[in-house]
Structure 1
Amino acid sequence: MQLFSLLPYSFHLHFTLSTTMALSFLSSLPSFLPLLPPQTAFSSPTSSFPSLTVKLRCAHVKTDASNQDRISRRDVLQGFGGTLALGLMVNSDLMVEPAYAADLIQRRQRSEFLSSIKSTLYTAIKKNPDIVPSLLTLALNDAVTYDKATKSGGPNGSIRFSSEISRPENAKLSAAMSLIEEAKKEIDSYSKGGPISYADLIQLAAQSGVKSTFLASAIRKCGGNEEKGSLLYSAYGSNGQWGLFERQFGRSDAEAPDPEGRVPIWEKASVQEMKEKLSAIGFGPRQLAVLSAFLGPDQAATEELLASDPDVFPWVQKYQRSRETVSQTDYEVDLITTLTKISSLGQQINYEAYSYPVKKVDLSKLKL
């Protein structure tokens, strides 16, 4: 333990917080390093963080032979604890890099824009609640054009093209598409980060439709009282489950219609045909059962058909029971999860979409 007696001169340690633990550990042992004026400096040339100067001044230490080996465990632990606390403090709040700050600004911009879109869609759907089944089918039909082999199709907004929306499987969806067009005009008028894509808006309209359905159910369970119904849905609804869905915000629009023959006419398809279609995009009987509201205007008739299949029947029964409960948790969570997966099939999400440059302040105009 004669380490410090070998240092008869003082020196100055200049280091950043990304230096090695060994050096940081030494800096946390003031009981071993009597302080004298600094002279020399060390620094880490590879650090990416702003430096914090800590001055250590060392001198000859006279050791008592009887105590030279008595550095206690507490001294060591206190030194290590001080280093660890300092590192945590710096890495949490003091050293926020500019890139991270810019990322937070983008997230806030996208979040605010998303909230405005939801408000626009909620108002439009509230005026015409009967359009919800068509909005759900519109989102489904735009998405299930996805082909795993060619990585083409998917929720890319191609259903907006007249040659695609006029196909037999989309024959009853023109009113839903008109709602999307009107909503897009309003949303684009207040967007600061460019026009919203049809691909995003169609899937967000489906989300709004799903939420409006669950809210209406809660209101019915409260005897038609909207205020109590809203409180019930806020208390039991799965708003938190929508987090991943809302991260998939930044889809790109297709420039041409998707190929024909990829979407069944759901109202005329057999259960086997429906199973085969969903299987082709990676889903099974469970997802087919939970999507019953997306497969035509009459959910009860669709579920009756689906229940005739032994593979789908248990799931239909499960979700019917869940809808009878106050929270509808099993049904709602599975529906949100399935819609989230379908709405991102084959899509490359641009997580910077709809963000915009923040106006810079001209400091020369400030009067101090």
Structure 2
Amino acid sequence: MGVSLLSSFSSSQLFLVPAATTTVAPTRYFSHAVPIRCNKIEIDAGDDHRFQRRDILKCLGASIGMEIIGSSGSFVGTASAADLIQRRQRSEFQSNIKETLYTAIKGNPDLVPSILRLALNDATTYDKATKSGGPNGSIRLSSEISRPENKGLSAALNLLEEAKKEIDSNARGGPISFADLIQYAAQGALKATFLASAIRKCGGNEEKGNLLYTAYGSSGQWGLFDKQFGRADSQEPDPEGRVPLWEKASVQEMKDKFSAVGFGPRQLAVMSAFLGPDQVATETLLASDPDVSPWVQKYQRSRETVSQTDYEVDLITTLTKLSTLGQQINYEAYTYPAKKVDITKLKL
């Protein structure tokens, strides 16, 4: 049996790396010129090399377009500056969220499986036919968290509610939605398990484990997930009966549910850590199915390698898709008007 993602959790070797390790390396921008190649225009010899009317219209249209762009430079510059300010505001807020969640999860590593299942159960209420449900934070509502499939998840929800209080106390662009918070908690839990795995592979040496994960980890794959930031909370619980009891479900029931949200055997296998408290038991069950078994074996082998690339990348990709099922992302969420400077009060 391969190494489990959630096996060997130990408070002595989990989350003992400084929070700075969660920061994302700056993007590198290259300064060399980019060549632009225009399409070649073929002229039919039968036209006596004369322009046709559509060619004149094309040239005219291009000229007008360039004139509009040239005359709107100040507007484009203002819009770009505003966009950069909003991106910075959202990025700073995300950093605050991740740091707070890092601390919360670090102190409660035993809740990692529950955090993952909380995110899964909130998202898999999605129904393609009606385009309803999904990761909308409705699992926080008492009538939904008390359902049989959510048994045992209250402690994880309580942890996130406490983290939310701290996050909101420093929020300048409004409180974080539970929909965003739950999915970002799942991201934080996964990062923590990846790091814990690297530490184990270094014999429990935290410093070496940190270096190993920095060198071979897949942190850069989280870019698209981080962009999907701005989910709105539902004020009503999602309909009952959409989420199975994962620990009691058959492989076929799991396959059917994953198929209903647009996933297949591959995604089912890679999400095994989300499907109950015991990942090894879940993978043993999934390995009994001929459609899922090859993927289970693939990810078990990947987790035994230094980089775990196949496993990590597929898991990050699947969670990213899962975390946005049916959601309209507000890309201006958590932004706020920049403070204006009164230049008349500036001292020269």
Verify same fold: TM over 0.5. Answer: yes
**Could you tell me which amino acid in structure 2 is paired with residue 336 of structure 1?**
I
Residue matched to 2:70: 49
Distance 1:95 1:133, change over 3 A: same
Matches within 5 A, 1:24-173: 46-49=67-70, 97-173=77-153
Once residues 316 and 220 of structure 2 are traced to their aligned partners in structure 1, the CA distance between those partners, rounded to angstroms, is 10
C-alpha distance in 1 between matches for 2:123 and 2:95: 23
Alignment partner, residue 320 of structure 1:
300
Mapped to 2, the partners of 1:321 and 1:137 lie a distance apart of 24
Partners of 2:331 and 2:75 in 1: CA distance: 24
CA distance 1:153–1:366, shift in 2 (3 Å):
same
The alpha carbon displacement at 1:116 in A equals: 1.1
1:363 partnered with 2:336? no
Residue of structure 1 equivalent to 2:53: none
Give distance in 2, aligned partners of 1:260 and 1:362. Answer: 55
CA distance in 2, matches of 1:326, 1:45: 52
What are the within-5 Å matches in structure 2 for residues 199-348 of structure 1? 199-348=179-328
Identical counterparts, % of pairs: 78
In the alignment, what sits opposite 2:175? 195
CA distance in 1, matches of 2:136, 2:176: 12
TM-score normalised by L of structure 1: 0.75
SS, match of residue 236 in structure 2 = coil
Task: Name the counterpart of 1:57.
Answer: none
How far, CA to CA, are the matches of 1:163 and 1:310 in structure 2?
37
Q: Post-superposition shift, 1:49?
A: 3.4
Counterparts of 1:153 and 1:96, CA distance in 2 = 38
Distance 2:276 2:166 in 1: 28
Against the structure 1 CA distance between its residues 148 and 326, is the aligned structure 2 distance closer, same or farther, given a 3 Å change threshold? same
Give me the whole-angstrom Cα distance separating, in 1, the residues matched to 2:188 and 2:65: 53
Separation in 2, partners of 1:228, 1:110: 32
Deviation at 1:50, TM superposition (A): 5.3
Give the ranges of 4+ consecutive aligned residues of structure 1 lying more than 6 Å apart after TM superposition.
none
The 1:228/1:150 distance shift into structure 2, 3 A limit, reads same
Is the Cα–Cα contact under 8 Å of residues 49 and 95 in structure 1 kept in the other structure? no
Q: CA deviation at 1:363?
A: 1.5
Q: How many angstroms apart in 2 are the aligned matches of 1:45 and 1:140?
A: 49
Distance 1:50 1:267, change over 3 A: same
Q: Report SS of the residue matched to 2:296.
A: helix
Residue 227 of structure 1 deviates from its aligned partner by 1.3
Q: Compute the RMSD of aligned alpha carbons.
A: 2.0
TM score, norm. by length of structure 2:
0.80
* Greater RCO (Cα-Cα under 8 Å, separation 6 or more): 2
C-alpha deviations, 1:196-215, integer Å up to 9, x for none? Answer: 00000000000000000000
Return the letter of the residue paired with 2:181: L
Give the gaps of 5 or more residues in structure 2: 1-58
State the SS of the aligned residue for 2:68.
Answer: coil
Distance in 2, Cα, partners of 1:232 & 1:286: 27
Shift of 1:47: 3.2
